[in-house]
């Protein structure tokens, strides 16, 4: 027992410290976790024997519950709504088409049996949310046409459908199954998956809004229970547990409740730990000595997926929806495979009927190729296709964006005609306990003092203490993208529909203090307080 704990702690230390190194050398962190697992494994330097596929499948499935939940929790639905149809078509029909195209070429080029070809396609049909989120965040890669949000929703929601296809095909391989039975299984997976996710999400949201937990730790424990229960109860009823926990995460992540900020940071840490565990464990399970026998089919399948199956699926689904060719190119290249595919391959290995081919190691190598090549080259491909949008921050597509920036810092652009232009810091009419932190002038950071005079083009950064705890203040940013139905409407009209107070409008690099008659324009960013005022306790 002590040996296992010692090795586990050393593995966590190694993953945590190499994460920073991977960013510097340009390798996706998840690839480093896999390589560390292989280093610890039987064929690696430490030669730790590990061949328990059953334990690995159970442990990784638990990890995927939290990754799926936080994938939904972290997706900012208001920003993703405009690309939801494209994303969901890719995560449903796209998964099916990718499976069929991959199976067709595996049958033609590799001479796999029909069912094994379909199994290979289903196992590898989904893109990996952890890999996609990791690359977008670490590379600060924002993409034009709201493509980042599209990829986040697609990668977060397509694993449940790939899992469902894998289960259906394994059922077919295990024995005779009628079309009617397959239809019933599909119906159960979808209906119970969506129904349980929605029901548990709404009930949990009501509890978080109206029940006063004695401390934040109990609230965190409650939400952990919600994530696990949504998966377990759905699976117990024959539904798709991953779909349930993803939908539950969306419902909780896009609503406001007390102590939501520490909850986001907590689950961000838990998800990071789960990613480390899954990729390290899968690397530990793999046997590099088995790679030589499956290298050629794995490489062929990787090329099929990257240059044939996914591009065909994307083109067929997104061309009618008027997606540009550059956008389709980035979406094609961002079809990263990851942990879910390997977990599904383990399911196939543990099935009643074992495939003739080594599905696990083939899938493992395809994931290695995908993360290392596609993940590393994604920024370059995006740049070549002119799809990088430097005017926006990709973190705004996640619900934890505001929480990652310290809200007590305020920026003021000193433009021509600004009342503070030519004034020294000491005479500015600043509120009590508000300090001038820094002046940004010609790209340089200048520490100000009372005699520093503000010049045109300066950006003054002020800092003020946090608001008191008796006010439930939640700041959110809502980008007004092209086509938004509120363009041309006044804030008074917006306020009647949404119970939110717009505090500031960011427009063309300036902060505007609005009133009810202010008209919303395209590319505005509405900074809103979506919280509620909490009653003060009576002082005796």
Q: Are residues 290 and 150 in the same domain?
A: yes
Q: Are residues 302 and 425 in the same domain?
A: no
Give the strands of the sheet with 501-507, arranged side by side: 475-479, 525-529, 501-507, 510-512
Residue 540 lies in a domain: no
133 neighbors 72 (Cβ within 8 angstroms): no
**Boundaries of domain holding 413:** 408-465
Q: Are residues 290 and 428 in the same domain?
A: no
Q: Are residues 307 and 327 in the same domain?
A: yes
Q: Are residues 259 and 372 in the same domain?
A: yes
Strands 444-446 and 475-479: unpaired
112 neighbors 357 (Cβ within 8 angstroms): yes
Residue 516 lies in a domain: yes
Count the domains in the chain. 3
Tens-digit pLDDT profile for the chain (540 aa)?
A: 576 677 667 777 776 676 666 555 555 667 778 888 888 877 766 777 777 888 888 888 898 898 889 888 877 777 778 888 998 999 999 999 999 999 999 999 999 999 999 999 999 998 887 777 777 776 677 788 888 888 888 888 888 889 889 988 888 887 766 777 778 888 888 899 999 999 999 999 999 988 888 777 888 899 999 999 999 999 999 888 988 999 999 999 888 777 777 787 788 888 888 888 888 888 888 888 888 899 999 999 999 999 999 999 999 999 999 889 999 999 999 888 888 888 898 888 887 777 788 899 999 999 999 988 888 888 888 888 988 877 665 555 555 544 444 446 677 888 888 888 888 888 887 776 677 878 888 878 787 878 889 998 888 888 766 554 444 455 667 888 888 888 888 888 776 666 567 778 888 877 777 777 888 998 888 887 665 443 333 333
Residue 162 lies in a domain: yes
- Of 465, 488, 512, the position where a domain reaches its end is 465
- Of 465, 494, 510, the position where a domain reaches its end is 465
Q: Identify the DSSP state of 238.
A: T
Q: Are residues 368 and 511 in the same domain?
A: no
Residue 398 lies in a domain: no
What pLDDT does 4 receive? Answer: 64
Q: Are residues 347 and 371 in the same domain?
A: yes
Q: How many angstroms separate the CA atoms of 111 and 356, rounded?
A: 12
What pLDDT does 496 receive? Answer: 65
Residue 48 lies in a domain: no
Helix (H, G, I), strand (E, B) or coil at 414: coil
Q: Are residues 375 and 424 in the same domain?
A: no
Residue 539 lies in a domain: no
* Rama region for 199: left / alpha / beta (φ>0; ψ in -120 to 50; rest): alpha
| 161 phi/psi in degrees, rounded to 5 | -75, -35
Give every CB contact of residue 31 below 8 A, 6+ residues apart in sequence. 22, 368, 371, 372, 375
Q: Are residues 379 and 520 in the same domain?
A: no
162 neighbors 169 (Cβ within 8 angstroms): no
CATH code for position 70 = 1.20.1530.20
Q: Are residues 69 and 201 in the same domain?
A: yes
- Of 421, 444, 465, the position where a domain reaches its end is 465
Residue 47 lies in a domain: no
Is residue 140 packed enough to be buried (19+ CB in 10 Å), middle (13-18) or exposed (0-12)? exposed
CATH code for position 512 = 3.30.70.1450
Q: Are residues 366 and 242 in the same domain?
A: yes
Q: Are residues 438 and 343 in the same domain?
A: no
Dihedral sign for Cα atoms in the order 439, 442, 445, 451: negative
Residue 393 lies in a domain: no
What pLDDT does 535 receive? Answer: 38
To the nearest 10°, report the CA torsion of 417, 422, 423, 425.
Answer: 110
Q: How many angstroms separate the CA atoms of 148 and 379, rounded?
A: 12
């Amino acid at each position: 027992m002590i040996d296992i704990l010692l090795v586990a702690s050393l593995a966590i230390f190694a993953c945590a410290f190499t994460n920073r190194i991977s960013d510097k050398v340009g390798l996706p962190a998840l690839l480093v976790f896999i390589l560390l697992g292989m280093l610890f494994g039987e064929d690696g330097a430490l030669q730790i024997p590990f061949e328990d596929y059953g334990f690995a499948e159970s442990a990784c499935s638990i990890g995927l519950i939290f990754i799926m939940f936080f994938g939904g929790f972290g997706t900012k639905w208001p920003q993703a709504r405009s690309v939801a149809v494209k994303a969901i078509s890719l995560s449903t029909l796209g998964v099916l088409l990718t499976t069929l195209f991959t199976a067709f070429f595996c049958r033609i080029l590799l001479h796999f049996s029909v069912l094994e070809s379909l199994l290979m396609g289903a196992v590898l049909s989904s893109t990996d949310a952890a890999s996609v989120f990791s690359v977008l965040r670490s590379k600060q890669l924002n993409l034009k046409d709201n493509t980042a949000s599209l990829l986040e929703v697609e990668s977060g929601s397509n694993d449940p459908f790939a899992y469902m296809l894998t289960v259906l095909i394994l059922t077919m391989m295990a024995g005779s199954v009628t079309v009617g039975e397959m239809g019933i299984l599909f119906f159960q997976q979808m209906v119970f998956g969506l129904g349980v996710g929605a029901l548990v999400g709404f009930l949990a949201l009501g509890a978080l809004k109206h029940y006063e937990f004695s401390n934040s730790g109990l609230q965190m424990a409650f939400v952990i229970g919600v994530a696990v229960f949504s998966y377990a109860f759905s699976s117990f009823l024959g539904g798709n547990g991953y779909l349930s926990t993803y939908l539950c995460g969306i419902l909780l992540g896009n609503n406001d409740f007390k102590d939501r900020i520490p909850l986001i940071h907590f689950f961000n840490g838990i998800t990071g730990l789960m990613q480390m565990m899954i990729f390290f464990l899968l690397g530990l399970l793999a046997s590099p000595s088995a790679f030589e026998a499956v290298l050629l089919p794995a490489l062929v399948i990787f090329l099929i997926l990257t240059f044939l199956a996914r591009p065909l699926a994307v083109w067929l689904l997104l061309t009618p929806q008027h997606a540009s060719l550059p956008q389709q190119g980035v979406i094609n290249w961002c079809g990263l495979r990851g942990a879910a595919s390997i977990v599904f391959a383990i399911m196939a290995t543990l099935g009643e009927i074992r495939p003739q081919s080594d599905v696990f190691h083939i899938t493992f190598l395809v994931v290695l190729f995908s993360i290392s090549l596609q993940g590393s080259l994604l920024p370059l491909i995006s740049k070549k296709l002119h799809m990088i949008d430097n005017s926006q921050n990709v973190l705004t597509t996640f619900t934890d964006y505001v929480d990652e920036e310290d809200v007590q810092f305020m920026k003021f652009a000193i433009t021509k005609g600004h009342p503070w232009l030519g004034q020294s810091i000491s005479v500015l009419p600043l509120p009590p306990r508000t300090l001038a932190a820094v002046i940004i002038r010609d790209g340089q950071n200048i520490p100000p003092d009372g005699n520093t005079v503000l010049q045109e083009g300066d950006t003054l950064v002020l800092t003020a203490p946090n608001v008191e705890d008796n006010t439930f203040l939640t700041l959110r940013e809502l980008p007004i993208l092209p086509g938004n139905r509120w363009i041309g409407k006044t804030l008074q009209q917006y306020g009647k529909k949404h119970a939110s107070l717009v505090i500031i409008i960011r427009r063309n690099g300036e902060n505007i203090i609005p009133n009810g008659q202010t008209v919303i324009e395209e590319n505005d960013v509405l900074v809103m307080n979506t919280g509620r005022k909490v009653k003060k306790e009576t002082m005796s």
